[in-house]
Structure 1
Amino acid sequence: MSRPTTSEAVSAAVHPIVPGFHPDPSVCRVGDDYYLAHSSFEYFPGAPLFHSRDLVSWRRIGNILDRRGQFLRGDGRPSGGVYGPTLRHHDGRFYYVTTNVGDPGSGQTIVSAEDPAGDWSDPILVPRAVGIDPDLAWDEDGTCYLTWAGTVATDDGDTGNGVWQGRLDLKTGDFEAPPYLVWQGSGLAHPEAPHQYRIGGRWYLLLAEGGTERGHSVTIARADRPEGPYEACPHNPVLTHRSTPHPVQNTGHADLVETASGEWAAVYLGVRPGGFTPSFHVLGRETFLAGVDWVDGWPVFVEDRYTFTPDPTGFEDDFTGAALDLRWVSPASEPERLATPRPGGGLDLRDPGDRSPGLLCARVTDLRWEAEAVFAGSGRFEVRIDDRHRYGLVFAGGEVRAEARIGGVRAELGSVAAAGDAVLRIAAVECDAETMTAYGPDDIVLSVDGAELARLDGRYLSTEVATGFTGRMLGVGAAGDDSHLRRFAYRPV
């Protein structure tokens, strides 16, 4: 697992426990072991999965959706694919439920496994549950409840909006009775991300509201039965950073877990914006941790309860292993379609010819960093938010070119001759702004063998400019028929 390098303890309220593009966290505990899963949008393999014994130090153990039969590519568009999930353990088995918005006819997707680090099952689909952010919960007699945000097609052909629920047959994906509306939230925009819990004889329904931007909030309600009626917490929202100077913003999409010692905690997403107003976040939505106390039957988030010393994020990869590291994913394609390990190390890269960007990608996990890719023959290296917002270097025809794309504008920024191996470097450095209003989150420097070719404004590779739900990724790909990646290195600065 990757975390910025520091020798000092930090608060889990200001430093993510899982940094970089790891949104929509869902957590469950089995004995002394905690498991944490995320959404991953268009990137495959999908649904990164982590393990911990202490809630603050997480090790990646797999990708839940690692076969295309579990995660159909669909249109492959940026910020499509796998949306907000729930990870649960019931009766000796793990369950992961999510929405693949690239395959709209599937409704909700459920996979399961006895060993979370092993193979997960083929999916059970719930096509009648139309919407996003599904949740699974079970009552004492074993009845399974699927709860989600969106719409439902009823037997008489009507549809409705809100947070819906139905008693589900997990073997078939059919509802045992018509689904029903359970709650429409506290009145903020976009009630979504429902998680349901049975705690102390009551049923609780936790939501995200306000949208996943600066107004993001966590709200909660309770009822005597899973289907309600639900009573809203008088102190809603129970977590939000809206209209505050807190360095972590957009907080929401929380999930509760009871610890092995009988206390409670919550994981939630947030962003770390920088630069002049309205400020810009570039790493996507990251995962943070809070303690939870129960007061008068309602949860109270204690954001500064956990401190930890982050592990290093830096890594080097010469691709000598039998398989790619779990960090490597591909947008709208599969890593094996565009990269083949070479005996002795390195990767041969090729254009997959599948309407994808043709990139092997790893998440950026730090606010300041540098990375290098060493190519023989040819190759390309870029930092990106999506296909239309990216800066990079292309090595082909005996030269290296610096290129940028911002929306519909493409530019070649300079070039330098290159022979033999080419060491392509990209770095995120402190912004060098001429005016206050030009101050962004960082500058991106593109260089070759120490020669700087371009220094670019980092604001254009932010969510506030590019929109969407993902974060910055570092991508390598082919730039001809002789593209060979010898080595890749990433270092926090």
Structure 2
Amino acid sequence: MTPAPSTSFPTVYIVLLLLCLAVPVMGQRLVMPGDFPDPSVVQIGDTYWASTSSANWAPAFPLLASKDLESWEFRGHIFPQLPEWADSYFQAPEITYDSTGVYVYYTARKRGGNLCVGIARADSPEGPYQDLGPIMCQDAGSIDAFPVRDNDGTLYLVWKEHGNSIGKPTPIWAARLTPERTGIVGEPFKLFQNDAPWEKSLVEGVSITRHGKYLYAFYTAANCQGRDCVYATGIARARNLHGPWQKYRANPVLEAGARWKGPGHGTPVERNGHYYFLHDAHDDANTAFTGRQGVLSEFTYTNDGWLRFESQDGRDAPIPARLVDTFDGGNLAPQWSYSAFQKPQYNVGEGTLTLNSIPSPCGAYVAQKLYTTDLEAEVTMKPTACTAESGIALVSDDLNMLRATLVGSKVSLWKISKGHHPILLAERFIRKTDSVIVRIVVRDGREAIVTYSTNGTQFHKLNTDPASLTFLQSRDRAIRVALVAIGDTDRRACFEHFTTRVRKPEDQQHIARSGPFRRRER
């Protein structure tokens, strides 16, 4: 199977200065820095392909490629345009393939309904992918699908019934797939459910691999709520898919350590005779700020027919020390995303992003992931060229935002919490000028100071007291930096030269020349 050619994205100019964490870590290694929850991975030829949840951000399901499971290149999205049948909660894409093509089983919320398992197909891993719609929608919701073949080669789909959403148990189901892999036939049967004390309210995120005489099911249990995330990973085994399934008496096999918290939802994979689990976890230092990141953990099978995770030395993947977008091309760069509930209208070219405004507290916005809790993000705006209230913001969703905006000759700092009316935290009047730079300085992921400049050299504080960011850290949604446009729909905001950079001086000493998410050029 020949991969399709990659797409180049000329709009972004990425300064390839990278912060490489030089301290070896034991047991779990960061390979996908930033918000990459629920990673799945499959080997196709000599390349590993991965995708992760995108939740309520669009485009949906980032697509990544690697030769070694450690250095990953961004290759686009499975859904550049969202499927028509679904509107939100794009989660847990499981990427797989056979001789007929590449298939992705994923979770999304059906318009007017509940969570369902959907399917998409492509001829090659880079796509384009054709959405084939939902194939399983239970009343409580159906999520976290995984395809697996039983001993006789019959293909089944395994998934979780989302019972914890209505205060009920969370059974793991399986049902036979059609030969085309696009539908379910026969009656579903149950593999297991949450019944051990450590599993608390749920088991989910099942992925299954075969080794020797057993099928091994990796699964996530307990729950995850931002800083209080207590996810852990368990193992169950059976001689065939119909069971009986036996849970390991020493579960959980992977749980919180000194650094990584809530290790869960992932996929087992093999490379050069070694076995790994690519999964997500929170960095204890960053918690919900940077989200659930992609972590690689090595394991071995034991003589008693189970498995154990190994201690290992290795370096974390580098994170960007500086990213710049000068908006020179005709498309928005792939690093940018937007709310699945509100697709923005914009134009990019000749060094300017023009963003159409909408009259809501959070406005229209495009956003980028963050990789560290200590950073600066700034943008240059043209108040005389565009008349919308425009600015830079930290956002976790459509209801929670800290934004610093410019309208006319006034710079203001606003807090929007739980969708309530914006609260004014600070404002300053400035002289009229053709260009204004607004900068957000984030400290330890907990507070922010905003500064502004009308000449590009001298910056003034907008807020003297730091603005708390704890209100943004709801559930396990990562925080992103955004450019926003607020006002009537006939108004626009104009942005030039956006940049983010790591703040800590000691971090700047570790600079590499290449990064974890390189783009392959034509």
Fold shared by both chains (TM-score > 0.5): yes
SS class of match (1:86): strand
CA contact (8 A) 1:328 1:362 kept: yes
| Pair 1:252–1:7, CA change in 2 (3 A) | closer
Which residue in the other structure is 1:50 paired with?
64
| Pair 1:367–1:4, CA change in 2 (3 A) | farther
Work out which of the residue numbers 182, 204, 225 in structure 1 matches 2:240: 225
Work out which of the residue numbers 293, 298, 322 in structure 1 matches 2:300: 293
SS class of match (1:470): coil
Deviations 1:248-271 (A, max 9, x none): 211111321011x12111112111
In the alignment, is residue 376 of structure 1 matched against residue 420 of structure 2? no
SS class of match (2:470): helix
| Pair 1:347–1:459, CA change in 2 (3 A) | same
In the alignment, is residue 413 of structure 1 matched against residue 425 of structure 2? yes
The two structures have a TM-score, normalised by structure 2, of 0.80
SS class of match (1:177): strand
**How far apart, in 1, do the equivalents of 2:361 and 2:131 lie?**
26
Which residue in the other structure is 1:339 paired with?
346
In the alignment, is residue 32 of structure 1 matched against residue 46 of structure 2? yes
Correspondence 1:80-479 to 2 at 5 A: 80-91=88-99, 93-103=101-111, 104=113, 107-128=116-137, 130-139=141-150, 142-150=153-161, 161-169=170-178, 171=180, 173-185=182-194, 187=196, 188-189=199-200, 190-212=202-224, 213-241=228-256, 246-259=258-271, 261-274=272-285, 281-296=288-303, 297-308=305-316, 310-333=318-341, 337-342=344-349, 344-351=350-357, 357-377=363-383, 378=388, 379-407=390-418, 408=420, 410-416=422-428, 417=430, 419-430=433-444, 441-449=445-453, 450-454=459-463, 455-462=466-473, 466-467=474-475, 469-479=476-486
SS class of match (2:371): coil
Q: What amino acid does structure 1 have at the position aligned with 2:34?
A: G
| Pair 1:193–1:356, CA change in 2 (3 A) | farther
CA contact (8 A) 2:229 2:262 kept: yes
CA contact (8 A) 1:290 1:305 kept: no
**How far apart, in 1, do the equivalents of 2:416 and 2:358 lie?**
21
SS class of match (1:380): strand
Q: What amino acid does structure 2 have at the position aligned with 1:292?
A: F
Shift of 1:105: 5.6
Which residue in the other structure is 1:487 paired with?
497
**How far apart, in 1, do the equivalents of 2:285 and 2:415 lie?**
22
Which residue in the other structure is 2:3 paired with?
none
**How far apart, in 2, do the equivalents of 1:350 and 1:172 lie?**
42
**How far apart, in 2, do the equivalents of 1:428 and 1:215 lie?**
26
Deviations 1:362-405 (A, max 9, x none): 11111211111111125221001123332111111222111112
Shift of 1:479: 3.2
Question: Can you give the 5+ residue segments of structure 1 that lack an aligned partner in the other structure?
Answer: 74-79, 153-158, 431-440
SS class of match (1:17): strand
**How far apart, in 1, do the equivalents of 2:149 and 2:451 lie?**
55
**How far apart, in 2, do the equivalents of 1:38 and 1:3 lie?**
25
Alignment identity in percent?
Answer: 21
May I ask how many residue pairs the two structures share in their alignment? 457
CA contact (8 A) 1:396 1:479 kept: no
Work out which of the residue numbers 6, 17, 21 in structure 1 matches 2:35: 21
**How far apart, in 2, do the equivalents of 1:12 and 1:83 lie?**
29
SS class of match (1:460): helix
CA contact (8 A) 2:362 2:398 kept: no
Q: Which has the higher contact order (CA 8 A, sep 6+)?
A: 2
Deviations 1:183-240 (A, max 9, x none): 1146112111111222223212111001125321111111111121111122211101
Q: What amino acid does structure 2 have at the position aligned with 1:281?
A: A
SS class of match (1:41): coil
Q: What amino acid does structure 2 have at the position aligned with 1:84?
A: A
CA contact (8 A) 1:291 1:306 kept: no
CA contact (8 A) 2:110 2:116 kept: no
CA RMSD of aligned residues (A): 2.8
| Pair 1:482–1:222, CA change in 2 (3 A) | closer
**How far apart, in 2, do the equivalents of 1:186 and 1:223 lie?**
17
| Pair 1:102–1:11, CA change in 2 (3 A) | farther
| Pair 1:383–1:13, CA change in 2 (3 A) | farther
CA contact (8 A) 2:327 2:352 kept: yes
| Pair 1:127–1:113, CA change in 2 (3 A) | same
Deviations 1:293-337 (A, max 9, x none): 1112222112534434515352111121232221111112465x4
Q: What amino acid does structure 2 have at the position aligned with 1:339?
A: Y
Deviations 1:441-472 (A, max 9, x none): 5321112122121221232222xxx22x3200
| Pair 1:207–1:482, CA change in 2 (3 A) | closer
Shift of 1:106: 7.0
